[in-house]
């Protein structure tokens, strides 16, 4: 029997990603986002408030990167989520992380993180119910250790973090349990 729980953000899993941009002086700003989603074959949507330092920088520079957080970088990923660049100007330096400039967009790539989407700002959506930044993915850079045949990312090698909104926990992406567009194919024959 199901129990009614009321209104809550009960979608799981939620990816943990690091969104990075430069400010007007070329300083790196980074924030952790769990409310992010691919919204087209070459676009990603970030559901983030307009008042974040990183959001302001994205609007200024028109570019950003999205890095997949992994278990190895959980400490800095959590720090980027609890510290605010609006009150901590040396936030990135405190993390101990490093960045290099993307060759494709005017945004920093966090070198410690295994997969990075390099994006140009495509659109800002600001309605009564939502604020979102939509980025056009110009390039994906990945550590060779997480890339398989045909230049496809191997999720089991990335060891990506997912966020548990129910109890504020982090979990790692686990084993492959089925093949998409195949697991339900038998039901097509009924």
**pLDDT 10s digit of each residue in the chain, 190 long?**
999 999 988 888 899 999 999 999 999 999 999 999 999 999 999 999 999 999 999 999 999 999 999 999 999 999 999 999 999 999 999 999 999 999 999 999 999 999 999 999 999 999 999 999 999 999 999 999 999 999 999 999 999 999 998 899 999 988 888 999 999 998 988 7
Within 135-175, residue ranges assigned H as helices are 155-158
**Can you list the domains of the chain with their CATH numbers?**
14-189 (2.30.110.10)
* Whole-structure pTM value: 0.94
Give the pLDDT of residue 92.
Answer: 96
Give the pLDDT of residue 142.
Answer: 98
Give the pLDDT of residue 45.
Answer: 98
- State how far the Cα of 181 lies from the Cα of 173, in Å rounded to an integer: 20
Give the pLDDT of residue 11.
Answer: 86
Query: Quick one: how far is CA 12 from the chain centroid?
Result: 15
Give the pLDDT of residue 1.
Answer: 96
Nearest to 66 by CA among 93, 40, 105, 123: 105
- State how far the Cα of 118 lies from the Cα of 108, in Å rounded to an integer: 9
Give the pLDDT of residue 77.
Answer: 97
Give the pLDDT of residue 12.
Answer: 87
Give the pLDDT of residue 189.
Answer: 85
Cis peptide before 118 (omega within 30 of 0): no
Give the pLDDT of residue 125.
Answer: 97
Give the pLDDT of residue 152.
Answer: 95
Please count the CA atoms within 13 angstroms of the CA of 30 that sit on its side-chain side.
Answer: 31
Strands (E), 52-181: 63-68, 99-101, 108-110, 115-126, 131-142, 161-164, 169-172
- State how far the Cα of 144 lies from the Cα of 154, in Å rounded to an integer: 10
């Amino acid at each position: 029997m199901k129990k009614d729980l009321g209104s809550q953000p009960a979608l799981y899993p939620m990816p943990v990603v690091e969104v990075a941009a430069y400010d007007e002086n070329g300083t790196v700003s980074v924030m952790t986002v769990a409310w992010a989603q691919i919204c087209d074959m070459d676009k990603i949507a970030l559901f983030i408030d307009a008042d974040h330092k990183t959001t302001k920088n994205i609007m200024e520079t028109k570019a950003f990167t999205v890095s997949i957080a992994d278990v190895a970088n959980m400490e800095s990923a959590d720090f980027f989520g609890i510290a605010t660049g609006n009150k901590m100007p040396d936030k990135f330096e405190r993390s101990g992380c490093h960045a290099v400039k993307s060759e494709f967009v005017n945004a920093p790539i966090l070198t410690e993180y295994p997969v990075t989407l390099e994006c140009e700002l495509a659109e800002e959506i600001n309605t009564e119910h939502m604020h979102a930044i939509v980025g056009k993915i110009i390039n994906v850079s990945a550590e060779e250790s997480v890339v398989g045949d045909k230049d496809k990312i191997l999720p089991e090698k990335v060891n990506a973090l997912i966020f548990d909104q129910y109890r504020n926990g982090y979990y790692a992406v686990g084993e492959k349990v089925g093949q998409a567009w195949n697991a339900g194919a038998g039901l097509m024959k009924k």
